[in-house]
Amino acid sequence: MLDLHQYASLGAALSAALDRWPAETCLIEADRDREKVRLTYSDFKEIARPLCRAIEDADFKVGDRAAIIMTNQSKWLISAYSIFFCGGVLVPLDYKLSAAEHLQLLAHSKARFLIVEYYLWRAIAQSPEFSKLATEIVLVTEAPVGADLRGAYRWEEFRRKGDPQLAKRQREDTACIVYSSGTGGRPKGCVLTHDAYLEQCIALTAWYPFWPGVRYLSILPTNHAIDFMVGFIGPFVCGACVVHLRTLRPEFVRDAFVRYRITYVSLVPMVLKNLERGLRAKFDELPPKKRWMLDRLIALNKMLTRSRSRVGLSRRLLPQVHKAFGGELLALIVGGAFTDPATMQFFYDLGIPVTCGYGLTEACTAVTLNDLKPFRADTVGKPLPGSEVRILHPDGEGIGEVAVKSRAVMSHYLDDPELTAQTIVEGWLLTGDQGRFEEHGHLQLFGRKKNMIVTEGGKNIYPEDIEAVFDGLPVKEYCIFAANFLWPRKTLGEEKETLVLVARLEQNQLFDDLVRDQIILRNRRLPDFKRVGGYLVWEKDFPRTASLKIKRGELAAEIGMGAERAQVVEI
C-alpha cells in the first residue's frame, strides 16, 4: 500500500494510487447478473480528469463544499475523487433520506455544488422547499434524454479538456462534513479532517491489509462511514478492487460472492442475520446423514480454531460452505449497531471470521476492532492503534461511559459550538455509550446513555428529529424519548426502534380513541425504523428553560424514577 504518512490530503493520496497501479482493476459495477462497468486505475483517472478540469473551470475554490446524493456506483467514487482532487470538502448524504431532509442538510452544509442521481434530483425539484435551494451548480447522473433538469447539468456532459492541477491541502484542513443523523431536528454535521481519515486508514490496514487482487464487496451505502473508508479509501490506497452492486436482492448478493471471489465485505447486523438464516435453512434441508457429517465437521473446525482463525484449514474442512462465499473470503466486517454474539459465533465456527467493531461518525469510522487474536463474540474488540479509550466514572461492575481520544475524532460539529462543547471535553469524545474493559483489553458495550436508537441496519435515530410528524396532536405538549433512555438497561441486545410518546393532556380530557388514532395515523407517515412504539400519559407540565425549551434530561429523570413504564400503551 501507499505510505500514507507521506501525504497531506486524501486528494494527494488517491491521485498517487491511480498512478501506482494503472493496470489493476479498481472498480466493478454490476446490476443484477449483468456487469455494467469495469475500470482499471488508469481508466478511472481518464474518466475523472475531464471532470476535475470542468470543476476547476466552474470557479470551484479550495475549501468549497460539494454534496453527493447517489446510490453505490462508479460515478459516486469518481465524483468524490474529483472533489478531493480540486481541494473541495465532501458532504456525503444518505440517498434514503426524504427530499425535505436533503434540502435541509444542503442548506445547513452550505454546499455550493451537488452531484445527484436523476430520480433523487427529480424528488428534490418537486419538493415545496425547492425554491430555497442555494446550491449553485448541480450535476445530475443518468438523466433521460429530454428530461427537464431545472437548471442542472448532465454529469456525463460536464467535461473540459486539459490537465487539472491537484489542489494543495493540509492535514488539518476539512475533508468531509458527515451527518450523523438525517434529521428534521438539529443537524449534526461532523467536521472531519484529512488527517482523521489518513490516520484511520493507517490504523485499519495495519490489522486488516488490502493489496492488489483483493476484492471488496460494497453493500453498505458509500456515504456510510464504514463503507466510505473500507469500500473506497482503504482499497484505493492499497491497489485493491471495489465491487458495487446496483441491487441488494439476496440472490444477486450471493451470486456476487462467487462470481467476483470476494475477499472482504462490510455488513450491518441485519444483513448478517439474514445470511445466517439462509445458511441455517440450507443446513436444515440436508439429508440426516449429510447433516450429521456437517455437524461433526463444524465441531472439529470449532475445536481447531478456538485460539485463532485458520481460514485455510476451515476451507478444507468445510469446502461447500466456503465455495458459497466465493472460496476466498477472509472476513465479514460488521458494525454500525449491536451484533448478536450467537450470530458471530455461528459464522466463526464455519471458518468465516466476523470482525466486529465499534465506531461513531464522530470518530471517523472505527474506535475498536476484533483482531481475532483470539476471536471474542461478546466484545467489540480492542482499541485500534492510535486510539485511546477510557471508561469514565465506572460503577461497581466497572461499567461507565466510553470516552475516546484519537486523531481520527472530528474537530467539531458544524456551526454548533454548544453541542461540540458537550461532546468533546478536554480532547475526549464522550460517546454516550456504556461499556467496560474485560481482562484481555477487549471492550464490552452494555447500553446507551444518550437519547438515541441505533437500528439493526446501522441507522442513528434521534427522537427529537421526528417530533414534527406529531405536530397538531390534540394535547397540551409532547416529546419523544428512546425507551432505554428513560428506563436504562445494561444491554444492547433488546434495543429496538421503540420510542415513547409522552403527552400532557388538557385538564380533565381523557386520552380517547381519537387521539390514539391520530398517533397511529402520523406514525404511518414515518419509515418503519422511525416509528413510535407506544405512548405514555404524563400528568405534569414539562420542565422548561428560560427560553421555554423542554429540559429533556430533567423530564427523563422524573419519568424514569417512577413506575410509569408499566403504563406505556403499545401501538
Q: Which tens digits make up the pLDDT trace of 100-149?
A: 999 999 999 999 999 999 999 999 999 999 999 999 999 999 999 999 99
Same-domain status, 209 and 282 = no
Whether 376 and 470 map to the same domain: the answer is: no
One domain, residues 60 and 150? yes
φ and ψ at residue 299, rounded to 5 degrees: -65, -40
Residue 160 lies in a domain: yes
Detail the DSSP E strand segments found in 122-276.
137-141, 153-154, 174-179, 189-193, 215-218, 241-245, 264-267
- Is residue 453 situated within a structural domain? no
pLDDT classification of 183: cutoffs 50, 70, 90: very low
Q: Is residue 181 part of a domain?
A: yes
Q: Are the beta carbons of 90 and 84 closer than 8 angstroms?
A: yes
How many domains is the chain built from?
3
Whole-number Å distance between alpha carbons of 180 and 154: 29
For residue 24, what pLDDT is reported?
Answer: 98
Q: Which residue has the higher pLDDT, 447 or 508?
A: 447
Query: Of 265, 300, 326, which one is at a domain's C-terminal end?
Result: 265
Q: pLDDT tens, 355-387?
A: 999 998 999 999 999 988 889 898 999 999 999
Name the amino acid, one letter, at 481.
F
Mean pLDDT of 515-544: 83
Task: Judge if 417 and 562 occupy the same domain.
Answer: no
Instruction: Spell out the residues 6+ positions from residue 146 whose beta carbon is closer than 8 angstroms to its own.
Output: none
The predicted model scores a pTM of 0.84
Domain boundary among 386, 420, 448: 448
Are residues 195 and 122 part of one domain?
yes
CA 466 to chain centre: 19
Strands (E), 45-120: 65-69, 89-92, 113-117
Q: Are residues 41 and 63 in the same domain?
A: yes
Give the residue from 360, 375, 378, 364 showing the smallest Cα distance to 448.
Answer: 360
Query: Is 456 part of a structural domain of the chain?
Result: no
Indicate the burial class of 439 (C-beta count within 10 angstroms; 0-12, 13-18, 19 or more). Answer: exposed
Among 552, 494, 498, residue whose Cα is nearest residue 523: 498
Q: Which residue has 483470539 as its cell numbers? A: 374
Say if residue 398 is in the same domain as residue 256: no
Question: Do residue 193 and residue 259 come from a single domain?
Answer: yes
Confidence at residue 18, expressed as pLDDT on a 0 to 100 scale: 98
Which segments of 277-383 are extended strands (E)?
Answer: 331-334, 354-358, 368-369, 382-383
Helix or strand holding residue 478 (H, E): strand 477-482
pLDDT band at 332 (very low <50, low <70, confident <90, very high): very high
Identify each DSSP E strand in 96-173 by its residue range: 113-117, 137-141, 153-154
What is the arithmetic mean of pLDDT over 474-500?
A: 69
Dist CA 446 CA 493 (whole Å) = 9
CATH number of domain containing 518: 3.30.300.30
Q: Indicate if the pLDDT at residue 186 is higher than 90.
A: no
Over residues 226-238, the mean pLDDT reads: 96
Distance of CA 499 to the CA centre of its chain: 21
Q: Do 19 and 137 belong to one domain?
A: yes
Instruction: Specify the DSSP class assigned to residue 527.
Output: -
Residue 40 counted as domain residue: yes
Among 48, 47, 42, 45, which Cα is nearest to 21's?
42
Task: Determine, yes or no, domain membership for 454.
Answer: no
Q: Which of 403, 423, 448 is the last residue of a domain?
A: 448
- Report residue 390: phi and psi, to 5°: -125, 155
Residue 494 lies in a domain: yes
Q: Is the pLDDT of residue 554 over 50?
A: yes
The rounded mean pLDDT for the chain is 89
Which DSSP letter does residue 208 get?
A: S
41: containing domain: 4-265
Number of H helices and E strands in the chain, helices first, is 18, 28
Number of neighbouring beta carbons within 10 Å of residue 388: 12
pLDDT digits (tens, 9 = 90+) for 443-465: 998 877 777 677 666 666 767 66
Asked if residue 440 and residue 468 are part of one domain, the reply reads: no
Is 92 inside any structural domain? Answer: yes
Domain CATH code at residue 403:
3.40.50.12780
Mean pLDDT over 470-498 rounds to: 72
Mean pLDDT, rounded, for 389-411: 94
Q: Using the CB atoms, write b or e for 110-129: b if 16+ within 10 Å.
A: bbbbbbbbbebbbbbbebee
> Which is more confident, 463 or 308?
308
Cell of 447: 447500553
Q: Does one domain contain both 293 and 253?
A: no
Instruction: Say if residue 390 is in the same domain as residue 479.
Output: no
CATH of the domain at 32: 3.40.50.980
